[in-house]
Amino acid sequence: MHKGIIRFWNKGLLGLFFLINTTAQAQNITQTSTVTLDEIFLKATKIVTPRLELPYTLSALNFSNTQQIYQQLSLQEYLGAVPGLFSLNSTNYAQDLRISIRGFGARSAFGIRGIKIIVDGIPETTPDGQGQLDNLPLGLIQNLEILRGPSASLYGNASGGVIYINTLDSMDTESTRFRTTFGSYGLQTFQLTTQLKNQKTTALLYLNKTNSDGYRGNSGLEQNLFNAKIKHVFNPKSSVNIQINYTNSPRAEDSGGLTLDEAKADRVQARKRNIDYDTFESVDQFKIGLNWIQSFGSQWKLESYGFYSTRDFYGKLPFENGGIIDLYRNYYGLGSRLTYKDQRGTLLHSLQLGTETAIQRDQRDRYQNLKGSQGNLTFSQEESFGGLGFYVLDELKWEKVLLRTSLRFDHQNVGADSVIENQIYSVLNPSLGLSYSLTKQQRIFFNFSTSFETPTLSELSSRPNGLEGLNLDLAPSRAINYEIGWKALRNNGRLEANVFYIESSNEILPYELEAFPGRSFYRNTGATQRIGLEVYGYYQLKNWQLELSMTQAKYQFKGTKENPSNLEGKQLPGIPGSQFFIQFGYQSLKAWQLQLSLEHIGDFFANNNNTVKISAYQKVRLQGKKAFNFSWGEIFVFGGIQNLLNTQYFDNIRLNAFGARHYEPAPGRNLFGGIQFAL
């Protein structure tokens, strides 16, 4: 291990030592506090297990008491406390939030790659590994579970991490909420949530309309969203959940990447070429899904889901040949898992067998973009990606020990009507996890897991020659993850620390060409090595809460004897090696609620060769609300300041961009505020 990594570990371990001692002192104080934190049981790991006992690193964030103070414009607002997770692109609504977990997902030029997104038990990620969040009902988020690290033995393709989103089932004391928000850059949102309920059935209906002019030129957004969630309980052992989502976004504009000199001269300008070619996207998406849960006696439980989704996408890019994309997607799937639990003395045995299948069909047409007008058809093909997976998950808990093993087989079939023979990917992924109880409230754990990630259809169809077909030379990437950690739970807080080591092969990264400015192509860039330390802490004392996380990591290219790399020792682009987050919360008996968040993002690189460095920056956010209670209901006013210190940083960095157009400036200090009525 070279000197740089040794210095890195010394810094990380010093930080961990300081944090553990600080929290230990705080825990002595909490003995006099009346606040008690309950242990959390999590869904993302498929067999429901207490968070403390799990031999994995899994973040669980609950927003039941704080949801209404958020701006509710981007999922990025909710993710800062998750160690190992980094997000960009929260204000370019044409390209969606870009999320990476331990480096998985960093390659994405738009949307989410390499990370599995699950919403209320229904996959949001397509079989080829593409995901987007533009149809997510942010105002209904109740809690998030983030499984950090390779999880293919549970979720299959593109599971370098898992984000499991749970939305509200019902409103406990209210029947209707109306909320309106106004903010900088012409932001206006109007939101209506209402509930219909009887003894066995609850229907929660949600409407949201958002308009924004955007911070930069040509960066506006218009979006309309409807979400319905219906739960019916047949009896104590049987229930069904139905979700319906429709999203209409007629215009989400793309202001494009700038050179550094252009960004310094005028941060709010759009790239001229993007204006000339009228770059934007429009989306119409419909999704319907059903979850059915049936218990048999006290030992058997069957959980099944099915869903169907369509997505009609139309977008303009800043070049002529193929610069207009018209994509229509059909996506549907089924899944089922059977769980058996048996308690014999001090031994608890849980066994789960599961299967999942999904099919994605994309009709992709490209036209000439004649300075914003649609020209001739230049590319047309129907693409398909089908996936079938089988897995077995076994968990043994005996006194102080919990052992969890899983094994999953996945088979994918990739093709297009312009390709004679389909591409087949078949892969087997194991995992092993072990946790041991040091005391009733402290555990150490170890796990080994793997992942694989196929190229997505949009990546396979992006061929530099511009012709129809698929770039079948683009190979799937593989990763192996080793992890060791420690967890502690106290009445008033919790502390978690872990170290991970990941090796990957055939890493997929984007690049650009002069002939197609603003369009990404993809290639395998060899092996990587990722090593890191993650720390998370939470402490609550009466009306005060403190939450913090820290990540210190190195993400590097490496070569092998068989395949040496000219990128050996270079850092993976788009991922900072250092992150720190701290958040203070306060809630008074007089219905005041305040939250102050501070975030440090370390420097990182914008290209594979590490010749373009993005400087470290800090973000500060302050938000809060004041409630007023009446006999007929509640009114509260809320508001916040984003980027309180008016830091100049970049909201998105385009990796390996041609002409050094890496930079998309982030907004300076900006405000939002509004009012909510609850009946």
Asked if 659 contacts 259 with a C-beta cutoff of 8 angstroms, the reply is: yes
pLDDT digits (tens, 9 = 90+) for 50-67: 999 999 999 999 999 999
68, two tokens: 């209404």
pLDDT digits (tens, 9 = 90+) for 588-639: 877 899 999 999 999 999 999 999 999 999 999 999 999 998 988 899 999 9
What local confidence, expressed as pLDDT, does residue 654 receive? 92
pLDDT digits (tens, 9 = 90+) for 81-133: 999 999 999 999 998 899 999 999 888 877 898 899 999 999 999 999 998 89
146, two tokens: 């983030």
Decide if pLDDT at 33 tops 80.
no
Spell out the residues 6+ positions from residue 512 whose beta carbon is closer than 8 angstroms to its own: 518, 519, 520, 521, 654, 656, 657, 658
Mean pLDDT of the 375-397 span: 96
Residue 138 CA from chain centroid, whole number = 13
d(CA 66, CA 584) in angstroms, rounded, equals: 12
H-only helix segments in 431-570: 457-460
Collapsing DSSP to helix, strand or coil, 269 comes out as coil
Asked if 381 contacts 126 with a C-beta cutoff of 8 angstroms, the reply is: no
d(CA 234, CA 413) in angstroms, rounded, equals: 38
Spell out the residues 6+ positions from residue 39 whose beta carbon is closer than 8 angstroms to its own: 50, 51, 52, 489
What local confidence, expressed as pLDDT, does residue 214 receive? 96
What local confidence, expressed as pLDDT, does residue 78 receive? 96
Backbone angles phi, psi at 63, to 5 degrees: -120, 20
State which amino acid sits at residue 377: L
Spell out the residues 6+ positions from residue 94 whose beta carbon is closer than 8 angstroms to its own: 110, 252, 253, 254, 279, 280, 281, 315
Spell out the residues 6+ positions from residue 362 whose beta carbon is closer than 8 angstroms to its own: 327, 328, 329, 382, 383, 384, 385, 457
What local confidence, expressed as pLDDT, does residue 31 receive? 38
d(CA 572, CA 656) in angstroms, rounded, equals: 11
d(CA 598, CA 617) in angstroms, rounded, equals: 11
**H or E element that contains 510:** strand 508-511
What local confidence, expressed as pLDDT, does residue 55 receive? 95
pLDDT digits (tens, 9 = 90+) for 402-420: 999 999 999 999 999 988 8
Structure confidence at residue 508 as a pLDDT band (50, 70, 90): confident
Collapsing DSSP to helix, strand or coil, 90 comes out as coil
Residues of the chain with pLDDT > 90, as a percent, come to: 77
Smallest Cα–Cα separation from 40: which of 55, 66, 58?
A: 58
d(CA 72, CA 473) in angstroms, rounded, equals: 41
Look at the block and give the residue holding tokens 């007929």.
632
Decide if pLDDT at 149 tops 50.
yes
Look at the block and give the residue holding tokens 């092969």.
505
Which stretch of 265-269, 399-403, 478-482, 558-562 has the lowest confidence by average pLDDT? Answer: 558-562
465, two tokens: 């020659």
Structure confidence at residue 24 as a pLDDT band (50, 70, 90): very low
Which stretch of 263-267, 287-291, 321-325 has the lowest confidence by average pLDDT? Answer: 321-325
What local confidence, expressed as pLDDT, does residue 71 receive? 96
Which stretch of 50-59, 296-305, 520-529, 540-549 has the lowest confidence by average pLDDT? Answer: 520-529
d(CA 609, CA 572) in angstroms, rounded, equals: 9
What local confidence, expressed as pLDDT, does residue 563 receive? 55
What local confidence, expressed as pLDDT, does residue 516 receive? 75
What local confidence, expressed as pLDDT, does residue 565 receive? 65
- How far are the Cα atoms of 25, 118, 120, 202, 237 from residue 232, in angstroms, in the given order? 47, 21, 15, 7, 12
Asked if 648 contacts 73 with a C-beta cutoff of 8 angstroms, the reply is: no
588, two tokens: 């008074």
DSSP 24-69: HHHHHHGGG----PPP-EESTTSS-EEGGG-SS-EEEEE-TTTGGG
Smallest Cα–Cα separation from 127: which of 345, 375, 329?
A: 329
Decide if pLDDT at 401 tops 60.
yes
Spell out the residues 6+ positions from residue 84 whose beta carbon is closer than 8 angstroms to its own: 57, 101, 102, 148, 149, 500, 532, 534, 551, 553
What local confidence, expressed as pLDDT, does residue 9 receive? 41
Beta strand spans in 67-160 (E): 85-88, 98-101, 112-113, 116-119, 122-123, 130-131, 141-148
- How far are the Cα atoms of 167, 316, 568, 665 from residue 651, in angstroms, in the given order? 27, 21, 28, 6
Pairing of strands 116-119, 161-167: parallel
- How far are the Cα atoms of 129, 314, 517 from residue 108, in angstroms, in the given order? 11, 19, 16
d(CA 95, CA 253) in angstroms, rounded, equals: 9
CB-CB neighbours of 468 under 10 Å: 17
What local confidence, expressed as pLDDT, does residue 561 receive? 54
Decide if pLDDT at 21 tops 60.
no
**H or E element that contains 152:** helix 152-155
Look at the block and give the residue holding tokens 């998309």.
664
Backbone angles phi, psi at 159, to 5 degrees: -120, 50
First to last CA, the chain: 62
Spell out the residues 6+ positions from residue 363 whose beta carbon is closer than 8 angstroms to its own: 327, 328, 329, 380, 381, 382, 383
Decide if pLDDT at 3 tops 60.
no
Spell out the residues 6+ positions from residue 34 whose beta carbon is closer than 8 angstroms to its own: 542
Mean pLDDT of the 382-387 span: 96
Decide if pLDDT at 8 tops 70.
no
Decide if pLDDT at 441 tops 90.
yes
Using the 8-state DSSP alphabet, how is residue 255 labeled? -
Model pTM greater than 0.85?
yes
What local confidence, expressed as pLDDT, does residue 106 receive? 85
105, two tokens: 């997902």
Q: Give strand pairing partners of 285.
A: 247, 311
d(CA 639, CA 671) in angstroms, rounded, equals: 8
d(CA 509, CA 571) in angstroms, rounded, equals: 13
Q: Give strand pairing partners of 202.
A: 197, 231
What local confidence, expressed as pLDDT, does residue 7 receive? 46
d(CA 635, CA 78) in angstroms, rounded, equals: 24
Is 23 or 665 the better-scoring residue by pLDDT? 665
Q: Give strand pairing partners of 110.
A: none
Query: Does domain 3-678 match CATH 2.40.170.20?
Result: yes
What is the 3 state secondary structure string of 605-655? ECCCCCCCEECCEEEEEEEEEEEEEECCEEEEEEEEEECCCCCCCEEEECC
DSSP 660-673: G--EEEPP-SEEEE
Is 679 or 562 the better-scoring residue by pLDDT? 679
What local confidence, expressed as pLDDT, does residue 19 receive? 41
Is 337 or 421 the better-scoring residue by pLDDT? 337
